[in-house]
Structure 1
Amino acid sequence: MTARKVLIHRAGGYERLTLEPLAVPVPKAGEVLVATEAIGVNYADCVIRMGLYASAKEYVGWPITPGFEFAGTVAAVGEGVSDLAPGARVLGVTRFGGYSTHIAVPRHQLFPVPSQLDMAQAAGFPTVFLTAYYALFELAHPRPGASILVHSAAGGVGSALVQLGRIAGCRVVGIVGSSHKVETARAMGADVVIDKSSEDLWKAAEKASPQGYDVVLDANGVSTLRQSYAHLGSTGKLIIYGFHSMMPRRGGRPNWLKLAWDWLRTPRYNPLTLTNDNTSVLAFNLSYLFDQHALLTESMTRLLSWVEEGRLVAPPVKRFPLDQVAEAHRAIESGTTVGKLVLVP
């Protein structure tokens, strides 16, 4: 197989995703070279392509190869790596560069593929489950019996949050955007599923938890943030990890007027109000956490042990050939997909 990577030379639409030859990297000391068999696609990759992802500008700039997660086989190891050998099945995370047939990463960013996952499922596992784990266990710390509200409960992170919420002993209310996603959210373990395409979202949310929610997990942005906060109970926590509704649903390019208008309408949380309401607002970006070695290792070790125990299952996966990366971006931007999308070299 010819070594290739997706490269974006400057911000724009789907036409900016170019497939180019790759000089296979030689692993440095402490690194491992992986021949990828599947690569996870995340909405953040689309935001990178549009030139709107802050950490991409900070760490890489242009040109850039997007991609945070992958699975494959070890092709070579650098000096000092003694616990992995060529041929080992691994999944991994990377701060960009994942859309590639070969990638070299530090050893601590790789983990064994559980026997319960195929390579496509493994490639789509780390980003969504690490995001969900950090949101729920590092930031929210819900007590058993807590009521949690999960937006986009049939998506990648959403379905991971539903499952982790059940592990934490919570009562999980999931929100989906269309009727064909209801069964997916139920299958992941949601106690109540709200289909906002056929019922009033916030009336249904109030009915499901009249006293408010202990945790609301929201990556929509301005379209739901204000009401997400309003539906917290006393001591409730709003966890923010994205702003998807500000981005385009078709065409692949930002609508700058909409972005500006949505930015102006985004809630600002006054610390005096938060204190009086007895609530918290927390937010994070996973790409800034990859250098937290202990956190990464602890989180992935727990997550993979739950997979092996059968307590976590991978979300549904849709596969795209690597040379159809633009179609994968169109699909994930459409908001109609369920579970995870992966690229297959």
Structure 2
Amino acid sequence: MRAARCTTYGPPADLTVEDVPDLEPGPGQVLVRVRAAAVNFPDVLLVANRYQVPAPLPFTPGSEFAGVIEALGPGVEGPPVGSPVAGAVLTGAFAEQVVVPVSGLRQVPEGLDLVHAAAFHVTYATAYHSLVTVGQGAEGEWAAVLGAAGGVGSAAVDIATRLGMRVVAAASSEERLATARKLGAVAGVDYLGEDLKLRLRELTGGGAHLAIDPVGGRHAEAALRGLRRGGRFVTVGYADGEIPRIPLNLVLLKDLVVRGFEIRTVRQYAPDAVAEADRVLARLVREGMRPLVSRVHSLSDVADALTDVAERRTTGKVVLDLRR
């Protein structure tokens, strides 16, 4: 099979696409023929050895995929061979085959093709849990979303709008804000040219109730300052490359809540919330919700796809189509 390979830590340009041995599922595992794999910012960090969890060399990057079941390992009774599925792994998705525990697979929501299915679960589940499970966002509240045209950001704008929240999108250009407005944002702030704190307070009549931040860097503190008293700030990731340091006196003075969300462990500590998220997201898909896929590449273009994500030149999600 063909697979992208990382043999030395560094920039995406160092990746190669090679022929490697086919995989075999072990006990409790499923072999999936990958049809599409989404590119996420943590993939960039893993290739550069800057992620929280290191990947030993050599490895195949890629975490989010969709495909069809090709074989079942010993002890696995279903789903049947040929079933469309989606899933997530730490590494291994940028290949024509991936082996995963059967518990790590999910049904493809009705209405999604495999390209959109590959781009759906990680970002939309992250966005939902950040907004609702952790952020406790409610209908009618003001939600500020940073990086509002990126993968998690665009999903958060989409979901929050469909759940009745009023979204203020924050992004780095008017073009990216226009993307967020198409997804339902009622207002936007260009945080490279405007004062994010002041604009959030102006647009929301005193401050947002909730801020979702997958970007980090210097804009995190401004978003925190743009919350109203008792507001909630959810840190989701650090696409800016800088982990912010928040003065705790801001939290004290305005009785703010700061929480974090990380997708890898949510099934372990909040299974009921995961089931509820799956139910709500499936309903929203039936009602027409689709992830924003801005670019589709072949596997041979994996280095370019990762570079575009690393340099934040994309909106929504970038997907590798393994059938090309």
- 1:279 corresponding residue in structure 2: 256
Indicate conservation of the 8 Å contact 1:117/1:314, yes or no. no
1: CA distance between counterparts of 2:107 and 2:209? 35
1:89-108 alignment runs, 5 A limit = 89-108=84-103
Residue aligned with 2:71, SS: strand
Partner of residue 187, structure 1: 182
Residues 192-218 of structure 1 show CA distances to partners (whole Å, capped at 9, x for unaligned) of 123446655444323211311111111
Q: Distance in 2 between matches of 1:301 and 1:28?
A: 30
Q: Structure 1 residues 143, 280: CA separation in 2 closer, same or farther (over 3 Å shift)?
A: same
146-155 or 170-179: bigger deviation = 170-179
Q: CA RMSD in A?
A: 2.2
Deviation at 1:291, TM superposition (A): 5.2
Separation (CA, whole Å) in 1 of partners of 2:25 and 2:194: 53
Q: Distance in 2 between matches of 1:140 and 1:186?
A: 22
Question: Which consecutive residues of structure 2, in runs of 5 or more, have no partner in the other structure?
Answer: none
Distance change (3 Å), C-alpha of 1:96 and 1:287? farther
Per the alignment, residue 23 of structure 2 pairs with 25
Question: How far apart are the structure 1 equivalents of 2:157 and 2:191?
Answer: 17
- Secondary structure of the 1:54 match is coil
Cα distance, 1:269 vs structure 2? 4.2
Aligned equivalent of 2:45: 47
The partner residue of 1:169 within 164, 167, 173 is: 164
Q: 2:315 aligns with which of 325, 335, 338?
A: 338
Please, which moves more after superposition, 177-186 or 93-102? 177-186
**Kept after mapping to 1: 8 A contact 2:154/2:180:** yes
Q: Which amino acid aligns with 1:304?
A: A
Match of 1:308 among 286, 292, 299: 286
Q: Could you tell me which residue of structure 1 aligns to residue 137 of structure 2? A: 142
TM-score normalised according to structure 1 size: 0.85
Aligned to 1:225: 220
Pair 1:243 & 2:277 matched = no
- CA distance in 2 between counterparts of 1:273 and 1:336 reads 33
| Distance verdict in 2 for CA 1:327–1:15, change over 3 Å | closer
Question: Match for residue 252 of structure 1?
Answer: none
CA distance in 2 between counterparts of 1:326 and 1:194 reads 31
Q: 1:41, CA displacement in angstroms?
A: 0.1
Contact 2:211 2:223 in 1 (8 A): yes
Listed as ranges, the matches of 1:310-325 within 5 Å are: 310=288, 312-325=289-302
Is contact 1:7-1:65 (8 Å) kept? yes
Q: Secondary structure at the match of 2:240?
A: helix
SS of equivalent to 1:332 = helix
CA distance in 2, matches of 1:296, 1:81: 23
User: Per-residue displacement from partner, 1:152-207 (whole Å, max 9, x unpaired)?
Assistant: 21221111111221233211111222222233212211121234466554443232
- 1:74·1:89 contact (CA, 8 Å) conserved in 2? yes
1:333/1:95 Cα in 2 relative to 1: closer, same or farther (>3 Å)?
Answer: closer
Within 2, Cα distance between the matches of 1:285 and 1:47? 15
> How high is the sequence identity, in percent, across the aligned residues?
29
Amino acid at match of 1:299: A
Residue 132 of structure 1 corresponds to: 127
Q: SS of 2:258's equivalent? A: strand
CA contact (8 A) 1:16 1:49 kept: no
For the residues of structure 1 that align with 2:266 and 2:247, how far apart are their CA atoms? 24
Cα distance, 1:290–1:143 mapped onto 2, change above 3 Å: closer
Aligned to 1:257: none
1:29, CA displacement in angstroms? Answer: 2.6
Distance 2:133 2:45 in 1: 25
**SS across alignment from 1:136:** helix
Q: Cα distance 1:313–1:130, how it changes in 2: closer, same or farther (>3 A)? A: same
Shift of 1:318: 0.9
Q: Could you tell me whether the CA contact under 8 Å between 1:10 and 1:51 is conserved in 2?
A: no
Change in Cα spacing, 1:292 to 1:322, as seen in structure 2 (3 Å) is farther
Q: Give secondary structure in 2 for the equivalent of 1:244.
A: coil
* Contact kept in structure 2, 1:44 and 1:53, CA below 8 Å: yes
In structure 2, what is the Cα distance between the partners aligned to 1:223 and 1:22?
42
Count of aligned pairs between the two proteins: 321
What secondary structure is seen at the aligned counterpart in 2 of 1:90? strand
Deviation at 1:119? 1.4
Alpha-carbon offset, residue 145 of structure 1: 1.4
